Structure 1
Amino acid sequence: MTGAVPFPRDAINAMLERLRGHPFHGPRLPARVTDAADFAATVPLMRREDLLAELRKPGLGAFACPHAVRMNFSPMGGGLAPILHTAGDLAALTAACRTHLDACGIGPGDVCAVTFGYHLFVAGLFYQTQMETCGVTCLPLGPGEAARTAGLCAEAGVTVLAGNPSFALTLREAGMPPPRVFFAGGEPFTGNRPLYAAVRAAMPDTLLIDSFSLSEVLPVARTVPGGTGVHVFDELVYAEVIDPDSATPLPPGTRGELVLTHLVKEAQPLVRYRTGDLTVLTHTAPLHGRTVNLPRVVFGRTDSMVKARGVKLYPSELRSVLLGVPGVTGGHRLTVRTVDGRDHLTLSVAGTLDDATAEAVRRAFKSQTLVSLDALETVDTLPDGPAIADAR
């Protein structure tokens, strides 16, 4: 389904009411909105730079929160920015995650190994908190020391693993028994076909869960058993997609920049927050209570766009197309020229591609960008330069 995404009017208006006196948001927000169009027209977008500008003020500026019970950090703007949660925030996110863990059949009796980092960053404690709240025994292992970690997982009878896919493969090679459920994060997973296939081969009977979150918006979406892509935790966040250039809201099924709004966050609430991530948003039939879907998760960033044949092309999309392709040994560049009065697209790739792989790259490029390549060439090396070169 690609029909209109439901607008949570009551939750949005309750959020607007709560933030009426907020020193940052209050002056920017209307008292109420009637629908998605009204929300987009009357509520301004905010960027990461807006958040950072406040956090750099004495006492964290408008985002100070004396009732916060947890402070993690995230790399932002060349430094580390604090990420705050209140007790209410932790209760809300664990309640939302509980519905997902229930759908995955996870609960008391399960043992979860958390191999995300715990030092400063948010993921390790995030997974431990939600698991423990649901009665799951947790091993707070963190990343590294694969041989010892694999042995501990075997001894403890681990049934659930949370961590980076690459490290999960290392653990399997070190002798860790395959878990019943694997929560992947920290690197592209379902969008990286070779990596996903390798994990599937290493864990053929494991339920594989992809996830998408930002440190400042946690969680956003996860794979739901029986679905595709990731489904948004829509009791926590309202998701939109906009044209990155004009900031105009886009209809479902159209690729654009993901914009997120916290619905219940107490510490550091974000409203119409531009993530800079490229995605497609659709509306599905209810699946374990979820209806807002990102079928391809996220596949690029809104960086240095070039428009060709009426389509906006983003450099990071090229990385998505070539991720894990065998034979690609170095850089890549898309060159846009004018030939016989029309845009001509040449993708140059450092490395070697056999005919079947080259055709797969052509298909992947068209699927990703909605336009076809005129030429695909391989070269030994590429000189330094932009990922997309506009030579028109």
Structure 2
Amino acid sequence: MCLGVAGAGAGERIRLNTDCPPGFELSAGHCELRSLYQRYASLQDAGVGGLKTGLPDYRDGFSPRQIDLGRYLFFDPLLSADGDVSCASCHQPDRGFADGRGRSVGHDGQLGTRSAPSLWNVAFQQRLFWDARSGSLEQQMQGPLYDPVEMANTPAQLLASLNGVDTYRRLFAEAFPDSYEPAQGITLEQIYRAIAAFESSLVSLNSRYDQYAHGYADALTAREKEGLNIFRSFVARCAECHTPPLFTNQQVAVIGTPEPEGMAFDPGAEVLGESSQRGGFKVPSLRNIALTAPYMHSGRFATLREAAEFYTLGRGHAVPEGEELKIHWHIWEPQLSDSELDRLVDFMNTLTDERFKPREPALLPSGLAPAHRTTARGGELASGEQNNE
């Protein structure tokens, strides 16, 4: 089945942006990241938890047109089998590029097994998915595109749908002038690269915490500074896994998070073939964490306070009976007080920064409506709701 349409008259009004997104500078036709963190020493030289720690390796160097084309593809439900979901259905800009659900909803209203991770700063991520099974954005996106529970498409239908839209053929020719061939049309590699280009532009590095890290002492309140000190302390040890400036060490950790009631145990990164990683998941970034409730891989905790408290209730206290997990050595019993937990939440709230949130397209080349705006699944869930479990 081909869902391609003529664009409902919108095609001629759609033009790809020739300017780089905010936070990037155009250099020789490509967009290069610009951040104060590029002035600082790498993590290997700066130590764990330091304020002026440099960035890890990252993806940039895409053209402005490739980034903008990826933006249209990201929001277009044409990429799914029946035109009912888009990438933005599970990665909504107003929800921190997550979706406010413990388990994401995909094709034909089917429930997935995990929550949708935020895409902010995904250009810096070395491994992707909760179980770290993917090593590139191009590889990762093929999971949801072709998963029967998520977008349920096939490579052949995806190509037919996009090539069936005159506007998309024009936009791909503009974005890939050196590789687009009219006789061949749009290719899978071009589709993956355009979406990767857009996702790599989702940079969030200018929160109040960042202003403080760059030297503006009054960017944080006294309580937030207290929370930062607890976060970095050798008692709480939060920064050892949620390491600045990304607030993740990008490693897999087995922490013994309980599943929501009625859900089977999720083996997580054991899929990579290492039994010691059973129940392990990639340490998520805390950037924009206040926007992405509920928390953990299956939305087990509705609030940041609950998630923070989990770490102080005792090592392995929630491991299911019969499971012998290799709990990460950082998980112990810090015995934080209620006040200390409250200060940690205060600090995590300072990591919110949506200044470079991209503009959602008013028109899509396919002529379809953005799927995440017109849901037919019982309405939007408030952050933290878990009754969809």
Question: TM-score interval w.r.t. the shorter chain?
Answer: under 0.3
**Structure with higher RCO (Cα < 8 A, 6+ apart):** 2
Q: 1 or 2, which has the higher helix percentage?
A: 2
Scaled by the length of structure 1, what TM-score is found? 0.25
Scaled by the length of structure 2, what TM-score is found? 0.25
